[in-house]
Structure formats: structure tokens, C-alpha cells
Amino acid sequence: MIQTKGLTGAQTMLRVLGEMGVERIFASPGSEWSPLWEALAEPGVERMPLYMSTRHEEVALGMASGYAKSSGKLPAVVIHTTVGALHGAMAMRAALHEQVPMIVFTGESIGFGEDGGPDPGGQWMGHLADMGGPAKLVDHTVKWSFGVNNKSILPSTIQRACRIAMAAPRGPVFLSMPMEFLFDKMTKDVPSERGEAPDATADLKGIDELADMLAGARSPVIIAEDAGRTAKSVECLVEIAELLGCPVVESRSTGSLNFPRTHALHGGYDPKEYVSQSDVILLLAVISPWHPASLTPPAGAKVVVLDENPLRVELPYWGYQADLCLTGEVESSLEHLLTAVKKKVSKGDAERRERAEELRTRNEARRRKWREDALALANTKPMDTRWVAHEISQVLPADAMVVEETITHRLAVHRYLDGLKPGSFFAGCIGGLGTGLSTALGVKAANPKRPMVCLIGDGSFNYDPVPAAFGAVQEHNLPMLIIMFNNQGYLSQKSGIPRYYPDGHAVKTNNFSGLHIVPCPEYAAMAKVFDGYGEKVEEPGEVRKAVERGLRAVAGGQLALIDVRLKPVEQIVDRGEG
């Protein structure tokens, strides 16, 4: 049993989290958490989670997301009642859509000073309380939300919340903890078993049917967006693709490195290029492989969906063809699929070998063309994204961890940073802008000895709570290199207008509302305020040297920000290149 009887609610919270395997608490709390702070100061407690205070809710939640993605472990988050929940709602929603587990706590008051215990203060009745409490406010942004309504169920409810977060499909859960219960003494112990939900492998008959379909296909294709969260998943996928002589295509919105990007069977980032020619299409941990969803594969083509949450129940619309739908955890399901494919496909099959050779030639030509495009821009000023991404790729350390929050520049990042290893790339912007820096901090917290690089657009940077993120770098010794792709505006504000109104007034007058971020700040100076290194780069020949200087600063324990000035948005003709 976990001994919680007689402990305060705050002490119980820490004991249960520690027993359930939670090693980190990322926090941006308010005054209701005094009992927790007192419990954290208690000496000699075993399995006490490490408490990491931050200065903004999005930083706390973003760090939890990056930590969970890169470590596979369950983090906890502590934020400030209704107002903190609203600040963090976007980041919780992102975790829901990305299936990132975390347990988020807020405080509230249910007694308002009327029950004779410690008085929470008049601010609760006047400013902080809402009908239904914090749990109701964020109900649609998390997997499960509950306001603890009796102190007797507090210990077991925390334990249950941990299990729900880690059960497939994984995701954020939310608990609102009345301040009165945090002070009060608990009346029960709880079982000590963690009770972790076993990874749910997809139905084995379904996997065998999928193996038959892939083995018998004339032109199969695998599309993956977030299947690469574990190294084992990537290893299995590589072996499956090699047995089948089958391309693996990532989408522009890929959230992890699903397949080695220099592999002969990596098919780039445009699934439509393959869908029109394929007879079996496997959608592996995919949200949106092509648009619109009603795009019809060739007549007779079969589409198979495999994921923890294959039909994306949280989305209002998901209109993709699905002839076979397999629900299961990706890694274990791929292990079983590999075993099944091995039984049905003989190595050295001439037809598959010929298909693989054709794909190798095609993919090598594609990558060569990308490099040639970048090198042709070596002397272009203002700089082009492709040149910058190429130069970064030339000096990026082999063990670097990369978080990307660029949007406009994402495709170039995918194409040119092709030396990244599985488990070293993470999206920092799914579901909304504002968490890229924080996600990078969480990844760094889980991998303190590896260099951390955050690639961010200037538009994204303006959505992030920068002072709070930089403060966390300094306070918790989490040095990282931030490379800003700075085109001094929001290309998304411009790119749609010519499509919708090609002969409209905005196009004719080059007057696009909401386009510019001007005057352009000296972003590099912001790093120096936090004892970091900052540099602005305007010359194409200086990019590589500047990145190297930034990496040296990070190796020395500093935050570094390299502000790379690109072609301004008003000069860009959107080709969909990023």
C-alpha cells in the first residue's frame, strides 16, 4: 500500500505521483499551492518528483510535452486555477491531438473561507472562481477532466488519472484540487501497484490481413506522421519497407522522425505523389495524410489505418477511406507486422528488388535536386530559407536534438536536416503556435547531455512566452540554441489571398493586411538579458559560422539566439516551398 492515511492532501499528491513513476513536475502555480510547497520542503521523502518552477503556464505545459515525447515518461504539471487553465488550454489541446500523456493539476476553492479551516482568501470569491470550476473550463481540451469533490477519493483519483493518461490513446488528463483538501488529512491508503496499462497491440488477425495485403500489392506505400516516437518503431518500419521494396512517405506535418531521411526508400513529403499510383496505402499514426480528405485513391486501392486512435475521435471531421482499421500501439503492432510480413515475403524477390532500385534512383535524384537548389542560393541576399537550412545541416552535431516551430519553413527543415537520427526531432507547434521554445526545454530536461536546437520563425517567436522560457533556461541550466528564421512577417497572411482573389485589390496594390512584423526588433539582444549569446546574421556566407558560434555558447552553458534575416515576406512569391 501507499501510506497516505494521515498525510495532508499535498503530501499525498507527491507520494502517489512518485509511486506512479512521475519524476518531474513542471509548474507555474498560484497561491493555492502553499500546502504543496510545504510538502516539497519535507526532508527524507523517497521518490519525490523533481519540481521545476516556470513563469508561464504554456512554458510548464510545453516542457511537459517535450519531456514526455522524448522520454516516454509521464510528467505532472501544476498551474493556477481557472486563469492558469485558460492560459494553458491551447497547450493542453495540442497534447490531446498529439496523444502526449501528462497529468495537469490546478487548484480551486470550494469552501471560500466558510468552513473553519485555513482561509484561502477573498480573491477566490471575487476573481478566481467560475461555475463548474477549472475542470469544466478545459473539458474539451483534454482526454479526461475531473474536479475532486471529496477528500476520501483524492489519493485513488490521482492514481487513476496517471493510468488514464498513459492508457492508449495516451493524452493529457486534468484534475482540479480544492485547496481545502490539500490542507486536510487523508482518511485512506491506496494500493501501491502502478497498474500500468499494457501496450495494446492491434488485432493479430487484422495484422495478418494487412501483411497479406502488403505482400500481394503491386505498388504499396506507407505514409507516416508520428510513428517514430520510439527507435524500435523506426527499426521495424525500415525492415518492413525493405522487405516489401516499398516507399515510406512523411507528410509536411510530421511530428517525429519516422524513417531515416537518407534511406533509399524515403519517399519525401508529398503523399499525393504516391497515392495516385498505389494499390495498398498504409496510414501509420497519421492525422491528415492529404487534403482534402475525400481525395480518392485509385479504383480498387485499399487503405489501411493503424494507430492508437485511428479514427481520431477528437476531430469533428475525418473523411479518409479506411478499408481496414487497426487500433493498437504503434511499436508493438509494427513488431507483429514485421513478423507476419517475413512469413509472406521472400528476401531477394526480383520484382520487389527492381521496385526498390527504381525508388532509390528516384529518391536520390530528388535529394540531389534539393541540394542543388540550396547551393544555387549561396550568394543570394536577402537569404532564402533553403540556403539557411542547408547550412544548418552542415554543422548540426550528430547527437543534436531538434524542435521545430517554423510553419512556413518546415518543408525546408525536413528536406535539408536529413542527418537527424530517430528520436531526435520533435514538432513544437501542433495545435497552435506558442510552445516551441517550451517543448525544446522539455526535450532538453529529458536529455541534459545532448545539444538542443530550436528552429523557430519570427512569427512563432512572438507567440511564445519568451521571457518565461528564457528564464527557465537560466534557472534550470537548460542551455539551447535558438535559430530564428526571420522573414519579418507572417507569410500565411499573404499566401492565401492570391489563391482566393488573384485579381483583387490586395494583389494589385501589394497591400496585405497583418503581413508585417515591423519595425523588426533586435531579437539577438533579448538573449543577452538572460546572460546568453545573441547574433544577427544577414550575409549568406556567415550562417554556418554563426551557428557554430551559437553551438559553442551552448556547450559553455549559455542560451544562444541566432537571428537569421531572410527575404522579407513582401518579396516572397509563395510556391509552397516553405
Indicate whether 464 and 548 sit together in one domain.
yes
Average pLDDT over every residue of 301-316: 93
Indicate whether 16 and 68 sit together in one domain.
yes
Task: Name the band, by pLDDT with cuts 50, 70 and 90, for residue 342.
Answer: very high
Decide if pLDDT at 509 tops 90. Answer: no
C-alpha cell at 470: 528564457
Task: Name the band, by pLDDT with cuts 50, 70 and 90, for residue 575.
Answer: very low
Q: What is the pLDDT of residues 193-216, one digit of tens each?
A: 665 556 788 999 999 999 999 999
219 or 129, which is more confident?
219
Is residue 190 in some structural domain? no
Indicate whether 70 and 119 sit together in one domain.
yes
Residue 231 and residue 423 in contact, taking contact as beta carbons nearer than 8 Å:
yes
Beta-strand pair 452-457/302-307: unpaired
Is residue 577 in some structural domain? no
Indicate whether 532 and 444 sit together in one domain.
yes
CATH number (domain holding residue 211): 3.40.50.1220
Residue 179 and residue 15 in contact, taking contact as beta carbons nearer than 8 Å:
no
Indicate whether 307 and 177 sit together in one domain.
no
Domain total for the chain? 3
CATH number (domain holding residue 422): 3.40.50.970
Q: Can you say whether residue 348 is alpha, beta or left, with left for phi > 0 and alpha for psi between -120 and 50 degrees?
A: left
What integer pLDDT is reported at residue 195 of this predicted model? Answer: 53
Is residue 106 in some structural domain? yes
Domain boundary at 306, 341, 365, which? 365
Decide if pLDDT at 76 tops 90. Answer: yes
H or E element at residue 561: strand 560-565
pTM of the model: 0.94
Q: What is the pLDDT of residues 48-66, one digit of tens each?
A: 999 999 999 999 999 999 9
Task: Name the band, by pLDDT with cuts 50, 70 and 90, for residue 577.
Answer: very low
Average pLDDT, the chain: 92
Average pLDDT over every residue of 302-310: 95
Indicate whether 113 and 211 sit together in one domain.
no
Is residue 197 in some structural domain? no
Decide if pLDDT at 407 tops 90. Answer: no
Indicate whether 385 and 356 sit together in one domain.
no
Is residue 4 in some structural domain? no
Decide if pLDDT at 492 tops 80. Answer: no
Average pLDDT over every residue of 331-345: 95
Q: Where are the alpha helices (DSSP H) in 122-257?
A: 123, 133-137, 154-166, 179-183, 204-216, 231-244
What integer pLDDT is reported at residue 346 of this predicted model? Answer: 78
Q: What is the dihedral of CA 510, 513, 519, 521, to 10 degrees?
A: -120
What integer pLDDT is reported at residue 458 of this predicted model? Answer: 94
- Domain carrying residue 214: 204-365
What integer pLDDT is reported at residue 576 of this predicted model? Answer: 40
Residue 540 and residue 387 in contact, taking contact as beta carbons nearer than 8 Å:
yes
